[in-house]
Amino acid sequence: MIELRRNNVRVRVIGEWESLPQAPRAALADLQAQTADNTGLLLNLAVNYSSHAELQRAVRAIAQDAALGNLIPDAIDESVIRRYLYTADLPELDLLIRAGGERRLSNFLLYQAAYAELVMCDVFWPAFSKDDLARALVEFAQRERRFGGT
């Protein structure tokens, strides 16, 4: 916590972390509260996160708002859907780095990753270094972003 405050890092937790047992739930709530006023880097922790569960929660909330008359069904577009996601206030995802040799997204940010560039590397996360990050960024910089176009 001290390191996060010293470096002006704000922590936000996404996912269904509030369904965790009391001790970890309280620790995560405290971590967010203790860093809430920091204005530097934003660290998002995905805890008990599932993209399928996120989309299900978002669709339910959209349906509820439509049923209450707060949302016109014909007005539901991508921007409306994004507002109901955990990542609503974040910029579009440009790069997703998957460490550990896996070649799949594993139910992680599926909607948000639609136009992201994916870099897969064989290095496991704990050993992921500044050099590995630099290689991923160089690979990303060499790509032509088409955002779904061919």
Give yes or no: residues 95 and 149 share one domain. Answer: yes
Q: pTM value? A: 0.82
Residue 59 sits in which domain range? 50-90
pLDDT digits (tens, 9 = 90+) for 91-103: 889 999 999 999 9
Give yes or no: residues 10 and 32 share one domain. Answer: yes
DSSP state of 102: -
Question: What percentage of residues in the chain have a pLDDT greater than 90?
Answer: 85
Give the confidence band of 32 by pLDDT, cuts at 50, 70, 90. very high
DSSP 3-state percent helix, strand, coil across the chain (nearest 5): 40, 10, 45
- Cβ contact 121:137 at 8 Å: no
Query: Which residues is 97 bridged to in the sheet?
Result: 119
Average pLDDT, the chain: 93
Number of domains in the chain: 3
pLDDT digits (tens, 9 = 90+) for 46-69: 999 999 999 999 999 999 999 999
Give yes or no: residues 81 and 97 share one domain. Answer: no
Give yes or no: residues 97 and 131 share one domain. Answer: yes
Give the Cα separation of 105 and 103 in Å (integer).
Answer: 7
